Amino acid sequence: MSHTPLMLSALATSAVPGFQAVSAQSLSTPQRDAALVYDANGLVWLVELPRTQTEDELMAQQRASVKALTEGLRSRLTFRVPKVHGTTDVGGKTLSVSEYLPGQELRPADISPILATGVGTALSEIHQLPVSTLMDFDRPADSALDSLRECAGVVDRAAATALLPQSLLRRWETACEDAALWQFEPTVIHGLMQSSRFLREGEAVVAIDEWREFKTGDPARDLAWLTTPSASAFVNAVMTSYRSGRPQADRHVLQRGRLWAELDIARWLLHGIDSDQEKIVEDATEMLQTLNDRVSGDMDQALTMPISHNKHPLAPK
């Protein structure tokens, strides 16, 4: 059963005591019923109710993550982030009432030099949040070694499919073997960063959404999207701003970001194999070949410097 904006507004009164809706408009998608609701005080709210169990689980992950975005953390950010004010059960699924985040989704074609600076600043602010705060909310915490093991595991599984171009496999194995690449301090990360997570008004970043993977981990994960071809026009401007705001960032952070982005294609391949979806397997295999053709012999796309002589972090002691 779908719910109209009027129905969602009425249900919201059970989630937020004293809630008084004045008007509402639909923001529903195939995955969830949703309404943009204006209350008697002129505030704007987002009321959402998942339509499927899978969507209900995703929304639960988001709610758990944003609880860790305390007022103290929010005060350190120059942009808005989600905030849930109440929930209620509706037919076995959870309706949530949150503050509506303003702005339009950022598209790569929209990113001017001014916006690129704002994106870099926003990323540096996230990565400088205190890690200790997340520990109080039991958010996952990945060390540098955990990140290396995760990448190596994806490479091993992808290699076992025999669908990887050999030069791409060697590229990834070399990156996993280069100890210098994995010398970094974990930070607070968004975890699902891409251009569409940023919301803008004019030339300003005003909000960032979709925080369900909010945790401590490799800051390079949040920079991976910047290494794709669609970001080539603004990646340097973003990184200049990022390093200005976070000068302690390790020098290999963007190279690791490139590795994370490339391994996302391998994960897509593995997903297709695990779910027995031949079309996904074919799509991922073609993407891997395209990637291999693009990066082969291009030093600007290198993942590693000349192999380090430092002892590898997984080497026996």
**Residue labelled with tokens 């171009």:** 165
**Contact between residue 46 and residue 80 where contact means Cβ atoms under 8 Å apart:** no
Pair type for strands 84-90 and 44-50: unpaired
Distance of CA 12 to the CA centre of its chain: 28
Return all residues near 261 (Cβ < 8 A) that are at least 6 apart. 224, 225, 227, 228
Distance, in Å, from the CA atom of 65 to the CA atom of 306, rounded to the nearest integer, reads 39
**Contact between residue 228 and residue 111 where contact means Cβ atoms under 8 Å apart:** no
- Dihedral sign (CA 244, 245, 250, 255): negative
In this structure, the chain runs to a length of 317
Domains of the chain: 5-99 (3.30.200.20), 105-301 (3.90.1200.10)
pLDDT at 80: 97
Closest CA to 45 of 84, 95, 98: 98
**Contact between residue 97 and residue 87 where contact means Cβ atoms under 8 Å apart:** yes
Tokens read off for 103: 């702005």
Closest CA to 171 of 316, 293, 312, 309: 293
pLDDT at 302: 81
Distance, in Å, from the CA atom of 93 to the CA atom of 232, rounded to the nearest integer, reads 42
Mean pLDDT by 10 residues, the chain (317 residues): 90 92 94 94 95 95 94 96 96 96 95 97 98 92 97 97 95 95 97 97 97 97 96 97 97 96 97 97 97 84 61 51
pLDDT at 308: 42
* Residue 31, helix vs strand vs coil: coil
Tokens read off for 314: 């997984």
Axis crossing angle, helix 144-160 with helix 166-177, rounded to the nearest 10 = 160
The Cα-based distances of 294 to 73, 168, 223, 252, 297 in angstroms read: 40, 11, 19, 21, 8
Return all residues near 7 (Cβ < 8 A) that are at least 6 apart. none
User: Per-residue DSSP letters for 81-131?
Assistant: ---EEEEEEETTEEEEEEEPPPSEE--GGG--HHHHHHHHHHHHHHHTS-H
